[in-house]
Amino acid sequence: MKRKVLYIYYEPQRGGQTTHVLNLVRNLDKNKFEISLIFPMQLVQNQSMFNRIGIMSDPLPMRKLLWNPKSIVKLFQLIRKENFDIVHVHSQEAGVLARFVSKIARANKIVYTPQCTNIRRTNLSWLYHVVEKLLSYFTDMIISVSEYDRQRIIQWGIPPSKVITIHNGIDSEGNNIPDDDATKLQSLGLDLKVPLVMQVGRLSHQKNPLMFIEGASKVVRQIPECHFALIGDGPLKNEVERCIQVHGIHDNFFCLGWQENAKELMTLADIITLTSRWEGLPHVLLEAMACSRPIVTTQVNGCSELVKHGANGYLVPNNDVNLWVSYILDLLQDQEKAIRMGELGNARLKEMFSLQQMITKTEKLYDNLIADQICN
């Protein structure tokens, strides 16, 4: 008999969260699990993507914390009607209300993956920790995507037996870019014959794109022909454009906006970077490893579990622009080292962060929870 699993997640625009959930629902054993999905109305254009892989999906009006009352009622009724074996809630935003609704709807087992343990308003971190501890009383298992975050969750007073680390995982075969995509990138103004440093991420306070721009301006002073590409969109778009003008690097810098084929375009970069103030276990770094590119990233949360400093990339303290610049210059000036680091990153991905490892561990967790449910 197939076991019924309901996924619930929130993300304002498609990114790492959607990639993570899509990887799970696409690859879980369909002979064992029947998957349903609730996701935010903002991503309704992605419903066909889920439908193509046989997933019953339903977009609901959601906000970060407060949902439309009709959405709450609909979720409650769905859980009561379908009697899911497991309700798996993803993201901090969905984690509060969806777990509460799941509990009062008498969900059999509740699993929660926060993806990250930071919030933007650091002055309210204490309140967030209290809320997470309270919600943990009716959460059967919390999945942390990094060991770093698992230890933080335990420090909040949540029992270690309730928190397990399952790293994000992706296919390790890399992404070969078709000729037409290469042509498209050239049409955006990039010269494939010059060094290219790329960052992929939402233009938001968390991702700190202004650090990327400041660093780029310092690199250009020493390597004037170097190009920088920023793929993504978000609330800091206007500030990003102003910052590029202030630093006078508009001829070297390319804001490409949201690109559906971003992970394929990454194969054209010499270096992939991430300047985030906080992360979970970022998919963009996994994708950089998949296409054998060296990485320079801030040393936040799970980034140090992906990048072994000096082996497949470099780790930089949060907001340390000068050290970031020195590592970018080191890789641009030593192509053999950059290639070697990229290859080591791909090998590390295959060994520790494969998609199959993530799927196997998740299925084992579900099996254990369902077996416990039957015994009780």
What is the tens place of the pLDDT at every residue in 74-83? 999 999 999 9
Say what the pTM is. 0.90
Cα dihedral value 289, 320, 279, 154, nearest 10: 120
The pLDDT value recorded for residue 184 is 62
Percent of the chain with pLDDT over 70: 94
* Beta bridge partners of residue 257, listed in sequence order: 231
Alpha-carbon distance of 50 to 279, in angstroms, equals 26
Does the structural domain 179-352 have CATH classification 3.40.50.300? Answer: no
The superfamily CATH assigns to domain 3-169+354-375 is Glycogen Phosphorylase B; (3.40.50.2000)
Structure tokens at 76: 């409650």
* Beta bridge partners of residue 28, listed in sequence order: none
The pLDDT value recorded for residue 79 is 94
Buried b (16+ CB within 10 A) or exposed e, 237-260: eeebeebbeebebeebbbbbeebe
Alpha helices in the chain (DSSP H): 16-27, 47-52, 69-82, 92-104, 125-136, 147-155, 179-187, 209-222, 237-247, 262-265, 283-290, 303-306, 321-332, 335-352, 355-375
Place of tokens 């990039």: 190
Summarize pLDDT for 334-362 with one digit per residue, the tens: 999 999 999 999 999 999 999 999 999 99
The pLDDT value recorded for residue 286 is 96
C-alpha 301, offset from chain centre:
12
Buried b (16+ CB within 10 A) or exposed e, 23-51: bbbbbbeeeebbbbbbbbebbeebbeebe
Name the band, by pLDDT with cuts 50, 70 and 90, for residue 145: very high
**120, pLDDT greater than 90:** no
More confident residue, 91 or 352: 352
Summarize pLDDT for 220-247 with one digit per residue, the tens: 999 999 999 999 999 999 999 999 999 9
The pLDDT value recorded for residue 9 is 86
Alpha-carbon distance of 29 to 12, in angstroms, equals 28
**297, pLDDT greater than 90:** yes
The pLDDT value recorded for residue 171 is 84
With a CB cutoff of 8 Å and minimum separation 6, the contacts of 262 are 200, 231
**179, pLDDT greater than 60:** no
Amino acid at 47: Q
**182, pLDDT greater than 70:** no
Name the band, by pLDDT with cuts 50, 70 and 90, for residue 204: very high
The pLDDT value recorded for residue 65 is 73
Average model confidence (pLDDT) across the chain: 90
**45, pLDDT greater than 80:** no
In the chain, CATH 3.40.50.2000 covers: 3-169+354-375, 179-352
Buried b (16+ CB within 10 A) or exposed e, 127-153: ebbeebeebbeebbbbbbbbebbbebb
232 phi-psi bin (left φ>0, alpha ψ -120 to 50, beta other):
left
